[in-house]
Amino acid sequence: MEAMIPADIGIPSARTLFVIYNDEDLRLDLHLLEERRELALIRENSYKCQLQKYYDSKVKICKFHVGDFVFRNNEALGQEHSRKLAPTWEEPYRVKEVLGKGAYKFEKLYGIEIPRTLNTSQLKKCYI
């Protein structure tokens, strides 16, 4: 909108009529603003559901049971970066407890419990 001096407002002209109609259109747009936001939110949720469905169709489900043997990724601990030729996977562990949603508690083969839990993404099945 353009700024107008008070003298221009009192005189009917095309410019002042445009401003009056423009004000009415702006008020109408303000009333419709909430509806537009709701429609945008519905579209956004629909898009997120489509993305999740596509992603879930590509994911391989890997579940371990109590007593299964697994290797742990060395980078899972987040310690120092390993050397170039260092092994990627660490010794086999036995699954001690399934905590749900891909989290597991472990113990070493000779019975010492590992204090931390790890996720499925940091594990690989070991066939002993």
- The pLDDT of residue 39 is 95
Contacts of 39 (CB under 8 A, 6+ apart): none
What span, in angstroms and rounded, lies between the C-alpha atoms of 23 and 26?
Answer: 5
Task: Write out the two tokens for 125.
Answer: 């099945």
Residues 18-62: pLDDT tens digits?
Answer: 655 666 777 777 878 888 999 999 999 999 999 999 988 887 777
Contacts of 22 (CB under 8 A, 6+ apart): 1
What span, in angstroms and rounded, lies between the C-alpha atoms of 118 and 98?
Answer: 10
Nearest to residue 70, comparing CAs of 117, 26, 27, 14? 117
Q: What is the pTM of this model?
A: 0.51
C-beta of residue 70 within 8 angstroms of C-beta of residue 106: yes
Decide which of 3.30.420.40, 3.90.1150.10, 2.30.30.140, 3.40.50.920 is the CATH code for 69-125.
2.30.30.140
The better pLDDT of the pair 101, 11 is held by 101
Q: Are strands 69-73 and 103-108 parallel, antiparallel or unpaired?
A: unpaired
